Amino acid sequence: MSEKIVITGMGTVNPLGLSVTESWQNVTAGKSGVGPITHFDASGWQVQMAAEVKGFDPAKFMDGKEARRRDRFEQFAVAAANEAIAASGLDIREDNAGRIGVIISAAIGGMTSMQENIFTLKEDGPRRVSPFFIPMMMPNGASGLVAIDYGIKGPSFSVASACASGSDGIGMAWMMLRAGMIDAALAGATEATIAQIGVAAFDRIQAMCRRNDQMDRVPQPFDRNRDGLVMGEGAAVLVLETESHAKARGANILAELAGYASTADAFHVTAPDENGRGGAAAIRQALDSAGVALDEVDYINAHGTATPLNDLSETKAVKAAFGEQAYRIPISSTKSMTGHMMGATGALEAVFCVNAVREGLIPPTAHYQTPDPDCDLDYVPNKAREKKVKVAISNAFGFGGHNAVLVIREYR
């Protein structure tokens, strides 16, 4: 039997806060991170809102020169990793650096840097393109920089599986720890796609909410009137360790990462399987890997993007996986407050699942007003709910039919 894999530290920057504590307080209070786009002038655009990270100062985590050579998604990753390492008390030394991994994923990477350098190329010619453009753009840049900053010499890479990237990256770390390849890992994801090209592109595929005059009421996951996602940004990083490694150094264990599974819909490049079969398979396989029975799941943090197809497909997936038990499990979409952080979203939602287990408090689905007869489960509308949570699962379902599910369990 494989050794337990435990979580000993967490860090985040996201639209609800610049720390785990601040973010948890705001998500359980039902506070929205959505507001007008400030990263560029969106006046006249069909989409003028996003869930931006507010008040972030990269100079608190790196010197000014380094900050200018790093894309925003990389800056977020360094900040989240810094908090996670400090919270865990993990001591990274020359003699153990090779037994620690860094798997910080990104679905897209340095979109802002790519856009800016393309503008520069067009307007000023090739000699004006930044020599730092490639490391600022590449999705593995965040993992590489965190490894460099902390002298970590174990496996370091990024997983790209669209909106499932963060959960898949955490799952990859879980598997390597179980296989004995490493003793500890920084695992999570980061994303910063609130740029002209990002907003325009997602709007062109009709995935975005356009109700600019109702920013305080959107997005609306699982609501009958849901009409699209709101783009978010940020990062979340977890410190994972084998139980024996954590106990040997006297770490404070927050929860157990008990299971993980990944499946593919093999259906469509953007649309989910309308019957939710791939998501249901991922849920069942993740629970099997954790040795968790269907009736032991106390909370589901849904993918819940607020697009009509996604929320319906996910509801069908939960029903297919759990049967009648699905109606007895509280489900919430924290994207109703954080927006959709693309590749980083699953990592932040894993953080929220850990806190739900530790605090006995389930975050709400904000902005829920009108029930949808086709989405008829318990979506914890508008107000956090006190409930003992021993087992929580986090769903992440991405473009291309990528499905990843994490199982987080109370540590004993």
pLDDT tens per residue across span 131-158: 999 999 999 999 999 999 999 999 999 9
Residue at a domain's end among 215, 248, 281: 248
The verdict on 84 and 168 lying in the same domain is yes
As a whole number of angstroms, the distance between CA 8 and CA 245 comes to: 11
The verdict on 328 and 372 lying in the same domain is yes
The active-site residue out of 245, 303, 367, 402 is: 303
Residue at a domain's end among 248, 269, 290: 248
Domain for residue 20, yes or no? yes
Amino acid identity at 30: G
| 11-to-186, 237, 243, 311 alpha-carbon distances in Å | 10, 5, 20, 28
Kindly state the tokens that stand for 161.
């599986």
Kindly state the tokens that stand for 104.
């910080």
Residue at a domain's end among 205, 224, 248: 248
Beta strands 299-301; 331-332: pairing state: parallel
The verdict on 207 and 312 lying in the same domain is no
pLDDT band at 329 (very low <50, low <70, confident <90, very high): very high
Domain for residue 235, yes or no? yes
The verdict on 378 and 236 lying in the same domain is no
The verdict on 242 and 341 lying in the same domain is no
The verdict on 306 and 193 lying in the same domain is no
The active-site residue out of 245, 340, 367, 402 is: 340
1: pLDDT strictly greater than 70: no
| Catalytic residue status for 367 | no
Give percent above pLDDT 70 in the chain. 100
pLDDT band at 66 (very low <50, low <70, confident <90, very high): confident
46's CB contacts (< 8 A; 6+ apart) are 203, 208, 210
The verdict on 299 and 243 lying in the same domain is no
| Catalytic residue status for 268 | no
224: pLDDT strictly greater than 80: yes
> 117-136: buried (b, 16+ CB within 10 Å) or exposed (e) per residue?
beebeeeeeeeeeeebbebb
Scan for tokens 């979109």, then name that residue. 111
Q: Which of 358, 5, 58 is nearest to 190 (CA)?
A: 58
The active-site residue out of 163, 209, 353, 375 is: 163
20: pLDDT strictly greater than 90: yes
pLDDT band at 270 (very low <50, low <70, confident <90, very high): confident
Amino acid identity at 386: E
Domain for residue 137, yes or no? yes
As a whole number of angstroms, the distance between CA 12 and CA 44 comes to: 32
The verdict on 168 and 46 lying in the same domain is yes
**How does the average pLDDT of the chain come out, rounded?**
97
Over residues 271-325, the pLDDT tens digits come to 888 889 999 999 999 999 999 999 999 999 999 999 999 999 999 999 999 999 9
Domain for residue 254, yes or no? no
Over residues 331-342, the pLDDT tens digits come to 999 999 999 999
The CATH number of residue 166's host domain is 3.40.47.10
pLDDT at 269: 85
pLDDT at 397: 96
| Catalytic residue status for 163 | yes
pLDDT at 22: 98
pLDDT at 36: 98
Q: Can you give the C-alpha Rg of the chain in angstroms?
A: 20
pLDDT band at 385 (very low <50, low <70, confident <90, very high): very high
As a whole number of angstroms, the distance between CA 16 and CA 234 comes to: 10
Domain for residue 253, yes or no? no
The verdict on 266 and 238 lying in the same domain is no
As a whole number of angstroms, the distance between CA 132 and CA 363 comes to: 40
As a whole number of angstroms, the distance between CA 139 and CA 259 comes to: 26
Domain that holds residue 389: 259-409
The verdict on 125 and 87 lying in the same domain is yes
pLDDT at 387: 98
User: Considering its fold, how many domains does the chain have in total?
Assistant: 2
The verdict on 11 and 101 lying in the same domain is yes
As a whole number of angstroms, the distance between CA 399 and CA 395 comes to: 14
pLDDT at 94: 96
The verdict on 266 and 237 lying in the same domain is no
